[in-house]
Each structure stands twice: as C-alpha cells, then as structure tokens.
Structure 1
C-alpha cells in the first residue's frame, strides 16, 4: 500500500512506501525477534549500519542492509526495524526486516487548498525519549485496478496558543485523504512527528478525525 505524504509549503508531494520490506539474512530461530521504531543511519554505500531506538539505545547492525526507499548515503531514515536480540548482552544485532515510517511535518493551514479529514482508526499517540511523537493509525485499504488511488497523510498547523500557565501549545490536525482507495480491510501503520519541527513549545495538541468522531491528544514536549 502506498501513502502520499503532504509536505510543507511549496514542496512537491512524494510517495513514501509503507510496504513491508522483508528479507531473510540466514537460517535461524525467530525466538529472539523483536520490533522497534528507530532511526536508521546509512553509510557511504546506502546500507543501514546502526539504529537509534526510541528508548535511547543505539544498536550496531551485524548484517548492514539497504532497501528501495533508502536512496541516500550518510543520512538517517525513520523505520520500524525487526531484529534478533543479542543473546550475549551486546548491542550488536541481526536485522530481519524493515518498514518505512513517514515523518509528518506541519504545513501552514493557509497553504492547504482542500482540507481532508477522512476518518482513520487511532490506536495510540505517545512521545518517545528520542524526540519523536508516534501515532499508531488504522487505515482502511483495498486493491484497485489502477495506480491512481493513493491515500495522503499530512499535518496541518492550526496555530499556537498560550495557556494561563504561560505554556505554549502547538495545535496540529491530521490531514487524511482516502484518495479513492477502497475500504475493504484495516492496515496498521505508524507515523512519526519530529518535535524539532515544532519550534520552541511546551506541548503539542494533535486532533485526529476517527470513525467515532474527533479525538484530541495533548502531549508535553519538555
């Protein structure tokens, strides 16, 4: 399933694949398999050599890998990483598979010509030690004959308010355009927000239109 990400002003929309990129690096038991949201670091040959987990742990990848969506060297990518936990207590792990996780950046409300808030399922929203805010979304999907039907996700900046306690709260709303994609089944997907993109604020308020109505989550940023 493809998801288009709505970017900031004047930037062209790009396709961020949320497909699962699976690979098997050798025979072995999956009894130590775990999955974590992470920031992957690529080397000069575009291969991921290490991963910073949301809990602050840095892992060294014993079997560096690359994927179709990891197109740049010496950079970082947000991802859901599946790996075998090291049994010797070290931080060197074997990667098993990976999925891209889109990082949503706020777009000015005045530059959104047609606001779409098609409903999604919202499992949870939480802030991580890594500085990312994560959302677990449940999207409706289905196969189509053509490639024109693509869902679009984004964040719209609805301004900043100052409370009676002097705290600055940034208000965001999830942009979601179903884009003609059939709603046959439910797919769980993660999306992240880098708090460095939110400016000097104390908290962020995120409003999501769900199938049960609008839900607003407020999280501390400091």
Structure 2
C-alpha cells in the first residue's frame, strides 16, 4: 500500500441511500458508524474496509467509489452494515456513507506553512485512542473559510522510568475566519508513523488549545 494520502480539507466522498419506503414499513439496518480505514484497488476504487482491530470487510456496493489513488489507504468516518460471509470466506459490508478525514504524519514546525506554529483555539467533542490512531472530533468556530489542521511534533524525551514520551501539539489555523458557528471536524493521528521510533509502553502527549481551558494535554500509551 502506498503512503496514506495527505488531505488538508474535509470532504464527503460518497453517500449511498436505499430506495424510499413508507415509515411504517422501513426497518433500519444494523449499521455501524465509526472511524475506519478504506483501501483502494489497482484502479483507485474503494474495495475494502479495515477496522482498527485489523478486521477486513469486502465492500459489496462499489459503484461510485472510484477516482482515488490506486493501492492506497484512506482514513475515514464511515457508516456501514456488516453482511454475511461470501463464497470465498470474506466478511462483507454495505457502505452507506464515507467521509475522508485529516490523517497526516506529524511534522516539525519548520515543515509547516511559513514555518510557523499556529494554535488557534477551538472546542473539543472527544479524543480517544483506537488501533494505530489517536482520533479527534473537534468543534472549531467558523463561518466560510477553510481552516488548516496538522500535527506538530515537538520532540521525544527520555523518561526516568526508561520509557520515552512523544510530544505533539495540534496545529490549527483559522485562516482569518469569523467565529460564527460550530463546524465539526474529524482528525486522526497516525501512530503507525512512529514504528521503530517508539516501543510498546512509551507515552504520547497531545496538546490542544481550547477556548475554555487554554492548552489541555491528552496522554496515551503507545
């Protein structure tokens, strides 16, 4: 698989809806809404879902899922319905919604736009660790301009207990936008990028600038 494609804006890649039925007749499917990876085949069509537990599901409805980079993995927020095992023994799923999200390797400040650290404040809905990622649902105040997000790597320190700590800070540039309303934003820190640099039991501290509390720290174990 090629390196995870860098995306600095959030956009929907598809929305598949079933045929309309009367409310009293419709049975809602047993769907799952989650952060999940999707992989593309050699033609650039999304073909599989990959959960954070490394479980793979073949997508049954691939129409309209093309136009992406071939043989790549994308981080998404998706809604899908697990289906039966196919004749080849593969787990399958129907994909109802798939939104590509920001999931970029952290970089040092000198590699950011203008080599400047931007930490404009925002609100936080949730931050949690899952699989090879730290996931974030953020609530920046916005109006009509695109905000820029990234993750700043601020070094790895050696701790007294023999472990190491990776220090990260959220990069957020409001881009001169007015603070008119809340705009939900989805991000994931790819911890797989630190294979060989961190070992099991090392720590990650993620620092985020908020309106209410100033800078807050979230700590995780690698």
Shorter-chain TM-score category? 0.7 to 0.9
Q: 1:45-194 counterparts in 2 under 5 A?
A: 45-66=43-64, 71-86=68-83, 88=84, 91-112=91-112, 113-129=115-131, 131-143=132-144, 149-194=145-190
**Larger radius of gyration between Structure 1 and Structure 2:** 2
By how many angstroms is 1:207 displaced?
A: 0.3
User: Which of structure 1's runs of 4+ aligned residues deviate more than 3 A?
Assistant: 14-17, 28-31, 65-68
TM-score for the superposition, normalised by structure 2: 0.80
**Alignment gaps of 5+ in structure 2:** 1-5, 21-26
The structure where strand makes up a greater share of residues is 1
TM-score for the superposition, normalised by structure 1: 0.80
Separation (CA, whole Å) in 2 of partners of 1:52 and 1:192: 15
The verdict on how the C-alpha distance between 1:30 and 1:21 changes in structure 2, with shifts beyond 3 A counting, is: farther
By how many angstroms is 1:26 displaced?
A: 3.5
**Alignment gaps of 5+ in structure 1:** 1-13, 144-148
By how many angstroms is 1:24 displaced?
A: 2.3
Separation (CA, whole Å) in 2 of partners of 1:178 and 1:55: 34
Separation (CA, whole Å) in 2 of partners of 1:206 and 1:65: 38
Residue in 2 that maps onto 1:18: 10
Aligned pair count?
Answer: 200
Contact 2:148 2:174 (8 Å CA) reproduced: yes
By how many angstroms is 1:64 displaced?
A: 1.5
Separation (CA, whole Å) in 2 of partners of 1:16 and 1:110: 17
